[in-house]
Amino acid sequence: KQEVTQIPAALSVPEGENLVLNCSFTDSAIYNLQWFRQDPGKGLTSLLLIQSSQREQTSGRLNASLDKSSGRSTLYIAASQPGDSATYLCAVRGMDSSYKLIFGSGTRLLVRP
Amino acid sequence: EPEVTQTPSHQVTQMGQEVILRCVPISNHLYFYWYRQILGQKVEFLVSFYNNEISEKSEIFDDQFSVERPDGSNFTLKIRSTKLEDSAMYFCASIPGGRYGELFFGEGSRLTVL
């Protein structure tokens, strides 16, 4: 059964720092992995979708990498801003069932001005 | 930019009552989903819907739950007899084109069962 873990659970950094959020999954047989942002009490905003055949995807200051064989993904945020404060979730779509995403618990990020 | 819209944003109900949560997916999307998030817990898959039928459902999605696409645009989740443990944020989501694509979520409907 696929399990997704995100470390750290919470992170507080000063504005301007580059940071890395980690996501690991137990079953490497995945179609893709998606990173989301969730603001308190709000829905999930898709940040990046990375297919199993890809090593990384970039969008603006965000870069997601995927190492499928080791069951890991990282989300790199460059030059963090207070507006980046949110919970970041990763989710995988496994080959055992292509319809659903399995989510991690998220990393709660606070960027201090 | 098109978005998934959900109503109501918050509903409070008594245990045992029926609740219907509504969603309008993005118009050209083909795959529809319901997920839920109990406060402080992970986002969990409930059900997927394609071509007017359920494609997959989780063990959470028991006989108390049902989904419908009554008019080709709305997508509803019905809980027949709510329990305290149904209190959660319910998210509708959809994918354009193929089922391996990027999932787009609505803002959620918060359900509080008293």
Q: Is the pLDDT of residue A76 over 90?
A: yes
What's the confidence (pLDDT) of residue A11?
Answer: 95
Closest CA to A34 of B11, B45, B32, B101: B101
Q: In the predicted model, what is the mean pLDDT of residues B90-112?
A: 90
Neighbours of A108 (CB within 10 A): 17
Q: What is the mean pLDDT of chain A?
A: 94
Give the whole-number percent of chain B exceeding pLDDT 70.
Answer: 98
CB A92 within 8 A of CB A4: yes
Q: What are phi and psi of B44, to 5 degrees?
A: -120, 140
What's the confidence (pLDDT) of residue A97?
Answer: 66
Closest CA to A77 of A25, A11, A30, A24: A11
Q: Is the pLDDT of residue B72 over 80?
A: no
Which pLDDT band holds residue A86 (cuts at 50, 70, 90)? Answer: very high
What's the confidence (pLDDT) of residue B14?
Answer: 97
Q: Please indicate if any CB of chain B lies within 8 Å of the CB of A101.
A: yes
When CB atoms are compared, the residue of A91, A93, A104 closest to B100 is: A93
Q: Residue B95: closest CA among chain A residues belongs to which residue?
A: A99
What's the confidence (pLDDT) of residue B26?
Answer: 86
Give the pLDDT confidence of A26-61 residue by residue, as tens digits. 999 999 999 999 999 889 999 999 999 999 999 999
Q: What is the mean pLDDT of chain B?
A: 92
Q: Please indicate if any CB of chain B lies within 8 Å of the CB of A104.
A: yes
Q: Quick one: CA torsion of A9, B104, B65, B58, rounded to 10 degrees? A: -60
Q: How far apart are CA B54 and CA B95, in angstroms?
A: 15
Give the whole-number percent of chain A exceeding pLDDT 70.
Answer: 98
Across the interface, whether the CB atoms of A98 and B58 are under 8 A apart is answered no
When CB atoms are compared, the residue of B56, B91, B99 closest to A43 is: B91
Q: Could you please report the per-residue DSSP string of B81-109?
A: S--GGG-EEEEEEEEESSTTS--EE---E
Q: Is the pLDDT of residue A99 over 90?
A: no
Residue A65, H or E segment: strand A62-67
